[in-house]
């Protein structure tokens, strides 16, 4: 998928990239027609360990879930590599592991570890010199492992105490000079700020359309040489709302809730959940590869959903 992601970058088109947090959410995004997904570190932290995005997930945990996502879809996956989980030396292994997991690209940020969500106060950033060294290490590792993997430099200089748009632009230029493919200015506050970054940093951009940043349209992004428009937490928030409503209703209504919800599910793609998760595809593989007699023993007289 890295070659495909690289070709998408070269094509000059703007892609909306929803954030996902597990294999099923990625599959739903693919079925909705999206051409790429990003594994959201915020969403993954919330759903995997039930904690906020403050650097509590480990590199191994994030790589493992990202690998599941890569295996589940046929579109490029972007990983959230946080700070690279340490300094430039740690970043080398981080890049190696995400590439082995099958990503099309990844972003890495210039925050001090432990990091936190870019739209939450209390962030700090490392020096420009250290950040450039880390990105140079990431580029060298990428070139050794898979030259097509797209590397994205995230900069949190706008939202730290004493931060500025000028420092964001200064760092963006340095990060691209270090060999990174895409610049990700996190936490911009207006369309005018994004337009200025687009003018002054000569590189494709990633725009995170959430939090403190304005909800700019795809048409607006097209005018600013934006490669990816990320909606990192939308799917996770939608899932959280749905589960909250369902479980609170279930606590009040018990079995009556299922009867009440049945009409709402009629015709929905997830109504037949056994089919939705892929049992028919498994049945086809069984018919192709398992002995006929074993298939007969499995299914004749067996009770339950029959794909």
Report whether pLDDT(184) > 90: yes
Q: What's the rounded mean pLDDT across residues 255-271?
A: 91
Report whether pLDDT(210) > 90: no
Contact 29, 72 (CB under 8 A): no
Select the more confidently predicted residue: 161 or 201.
Answer: 201
* Model confidence band, residue 272 (pLDDT cutoffs 50, 70, 90): very high
Tens-digit pLDDT profile for residues 30-81: 999 999 999 999 999 999 999 999 999 999 999 999 999 999 999 999 999 9
* Model confidence band, residue 274 (pLDDT cutoffs 50, 70, 90): very high
The 10 Å Cβ neighbour count of residue 97 is 21
Query: Is 252 among the domain residues?
Result: no
How far is Cα of residue 86 from the mean position of the Cα atoms in its chain? 20
Measuring CA to CA, which residue among 41, 170, 193 is closest to residue 118? 41
Q: Of 202, 232, 262, which closes a domain?
A: 232
Element (H, E) at 298: helix 292-299
219 and 288: one domain? no
State the total domains in the chain.
2
Task: Give the span between the Cα atoms of 241 and 46, in whole angstroms.
Answer: 13
16 and 153: one domain? yes
Query: Is 196 among the domain residues?
Result: yes
281 and 188: one domain? no
224 and 282: one domain? no
pLDDT of residue 1: 84
Domain range for 118: 2-232
Tens-digit pLDDT profile for residues 107-133: 999 999 999 999 999 999 999 999 999
Element (H, E) at 172: helix 165-177
CATH code, domain with 62:
3.20.20.60
Query: Is 259 among the domain residues?
Result: no
pLDDT of residue 77: 99
pLDDT of residue 301: 83
172 and 279: one domain? no
290 and 196: one domain? no
Q: Of 205, 232, 259, which closes a domain?
A: 232
163 and 111: one domain? yes
Contact 186, 111 (CB under 8 A): no
DSSP string, 168-202: HHHHHHHHHHTT-SEEEETT--SHHHHHHHHHHS-
39 and 128: one domain? yes
Task: Give the span between the Cα atoms of 153 and 203, in whole angstroms.
Answer: 11
Residue 221, class by beta-carbon neighbours within 10 Å (0-12 exposed, 13-18 middle, 19+ buried)? buried
Tens-digit pLDDT profile for residues 218-241: 889 988 989 999 999 999 999 999
Three-class secondary structure of residue 115 per DSSP? coil
pTM value?
0.95
Question: What percent of the chain is predicted at pLDDT more than 70?
Answer: 100
Query: Is 180 among the domain residues?
Result: yes
pLDDT of residue 297: 86
Largest CA distance in the chain: 72
Report whether pLDDT(277) > 90: yes
Task: Give the span between the Cα atoms of 112 and 85, in whole angstroms.
Answer: 10
């Amino acid at each position: 998928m890295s070659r495909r992601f690289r070709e998408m970058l070269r094509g000059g088109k703007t892609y909306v990239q929803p954030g996902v947090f597990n294999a099923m959410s990625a599959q739903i995004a693919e079925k909705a027609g999206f051409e790429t997904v990003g594994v959201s570190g915020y969403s993954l932290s919330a759903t995997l360990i039930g904690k906020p995005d403050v650097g509590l997930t480990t590199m191994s945990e994030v790589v493992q879930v990202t690998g599941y996502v890569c295996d589940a879809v046929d579109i490029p996956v972007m990983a959230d590599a946080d700070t690279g989980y340490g300094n430039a030396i740690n970043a080398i292994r981080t890049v190696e592991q995400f590439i082995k997991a099958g990503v099309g690209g990844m972003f890495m940020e210039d925050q001090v570890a432990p990091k936190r969500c870019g739209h939450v106060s209390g962030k700090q950033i490392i020096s420009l010199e250290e950040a450039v060294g880390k990105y140079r290490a990431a580029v060298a590792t990428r070139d050794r492992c898979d030259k097509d993997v797209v590397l994205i430099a995230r900069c949190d200089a706008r939202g730290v105490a004493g931060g500025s748009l000028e420092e964001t632009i200064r760092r963006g230029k340095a990060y691209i000079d270090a060999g990174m493919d895409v610049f990700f200015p996190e936490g911009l506050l207006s369309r005018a700020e994004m337009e200025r970054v687009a003018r002054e940093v000569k590189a494709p951009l990633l725009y995170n359309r959430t939090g403190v940043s304005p909800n700019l349209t795809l048409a607006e992004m097209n005018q600013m040489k934006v490669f990816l428009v990320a909606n990192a937490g939308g799917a996770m928030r939608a899932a959280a709302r749905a589960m909250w409503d369902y479980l609170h209703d279930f606590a009040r209504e018990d079995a009556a809730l299922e009867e009440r919800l049945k009409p709402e599910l009629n015709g929905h793609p997830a109504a037949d959940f056994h089919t939705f998760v892929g049992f028919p595809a498994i049945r086809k593989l069984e018919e192709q590869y398992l002995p006929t007699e074993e298939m007969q023993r499995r299914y004749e007289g067996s009770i339950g959903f029959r794909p």
